Structure 1
Amino acid sequence: MPFYVYAQDQPDVADQLMELSEEHWSYMDRFEDRLILRGPTVSDDGEKHTGSVHVADLADRAAAERFAREEPFWKAGLYRDLTVVAADVLVSREPEADVHYTLVTAQWPLSADAPCDAEQRGLSGAEADSRLIFVAALRDDEGTGTTGVVAAVRALPDEARGLVRPFAEGLADGRPAAFTAQRWERGGRN
């Protein structure tokens, strides 16, 4: 089952991230065949690492939590926040190197009377727009409804947010959605 794992950096940890980068990559290499998407979030100018994104196909929530908490940057205390959420992957294309991408997330409250099926909402139409290289519906722990969407988009933040908004609003089913958009880069060894 795919899980979206996002870790936000502590302030001023760039040097420590560099020191542990080989250890981080070696750890991720162990999951290479299960990583659907990976890479850092970065500042608007692309100069500063701000977090790490991984979408990994793992056995269950416990395995996803282990994956996140045994990661070297987390163990060294370099992250301040960690998100681990089950995901239904709707679009997954290989990102290109050296291209500007934005990671867009939208989150909303779970409603027991509004479980959503992404395919029934027409989200498979996202495949037609090649700028959307990754789209996943985020699921509640019981798998009965959506709590958000995450997308990697080949566009700058304002345009990327606009491209994701129709899919997010369709899944949110009238629930208020909070959007974030931040630069993202393809990760891993090249």
Structure 2
Amino acid sequence: MPYYVHGADQPDVLDGLIELSEAHWSYMDRFADRLILRGPTLSDDGEEHTGSVHVVDVADRAAAERFAYEEPYWSAGYYQPLTIARAVVLVDRPDDAPRALVTAEWEPADLTELAPSLLEDDRLSFVALLVEDDGSHSIGIVAAVAGAPSEAADVIRPAADGLTGGVAMTVTARRWQRGGRSQSDS
């Protein structure tokens, strides 16, 4: 069962992230075959690490929480509170192009279908609907979109509006790069 996990960096943690990077990589290596999506969020100029995103396939919420809370950066206190949500993966076209990661979150809404045109949009390399643990209601969407964050949010906003039926939502777009240990790192 896929779960979306996002941790935003606390201020001024770059030195600590660098210091713990091998522990982070070693921890992630244990989940490599279950990581559907992974990578850092970045500042607008792409120069600073601002957080980490993972979609991991685990047995249940308890396993997703263990994955998140046992991760070395979280254990060291480098993340602000985490977001953990069950994910229904609709598109996964891996590539290494720089992307914007767009998330929209809303109060639980009845599940509805996404417009097929969104899922066929070649600017999207990843789309997952975020749902309550029992799968009964949608609570958000996460997507990796080619383009600047401001443009990427405009790609996802109409789909999110259609999914919520007018329920208020929060849309966030950040620079993002698909991650993972490179062969030279192993």
The one-letter code sitting in structure 2 at the alignment partner of 1:70 is E
Correspondence for 1:26 = 26
Q: Flag as ranges the 4+ runs of structure 1 deviating above 3 A.
A: none
Correspondence for 1:80 = 80
Correspondence for 1:92 = 92
Correspondence for 2:162 = 170
Alignment of 1:141-180 (within 5 A): 141-180=133-172
The one-letter code sitting in structure 1 at the alignment partner of 2:42 is V
Which of 106, 112, 117 lines up with 1:117 in the alignment? 112
**Structure 2 unaligned runs (5+)?**
none
Do 1:9 and 1:81's aligned partners in 2 also have CA atoms closer than 8 Å?
no
Percent identical residues = 58
Q: How big is the shift at 1:154? A: 1.2
Q: How big is the shift at 1:142? A: 2.5
The one-letter code sitting in structure 2 at the alignment partner of 1:153 is V
How much is the aligned-residue C-alpha RMSD, in angstroms?
1.2
Q: How big is the shift at 1:186? A: 1.4
Do 1:91 and 1:126's aligned partners in 2 also have CA atoms closer than 8 Å?
no
Do 2:98 and 2:178's aligned partners in 1 also have CA atoms closer than 8 Å?
no
Do 1:73 and 1:79's aligned partners in 2 also have CA atoms closer than 8 Å?
yes
Answering whether residue 177 of structure 2 is matched by residue 185 of structure 1, we say yes
Q: How big is the shift at 1:67? A: 0.3
Correspondence for 2:46 = 46
Do 1:100 and 1:156's aligned partners in 2 also have CA atoms closer than 8 Å?
no
The one-letter code sitting in structure 1 at the alignment partner of 2:160 is A
Do 2:131 and 2:139's aligned partners in 1 also have CA atoms closer than 8 Å?
yes
Distance 2:61 2:75 in 1: 19
Correspondence for 2:55 = 55
Do 2:8 and 2:80's aligned partners in 1 also have CA atoms closer than 8 Å?
yes
Q: How big is the shift at 1:174? A: 1.7
The one-letter code sitting in structure 2 at the alignment partner of 1:141 is D
TM-score normalised by structure 2 residue count: 0.93
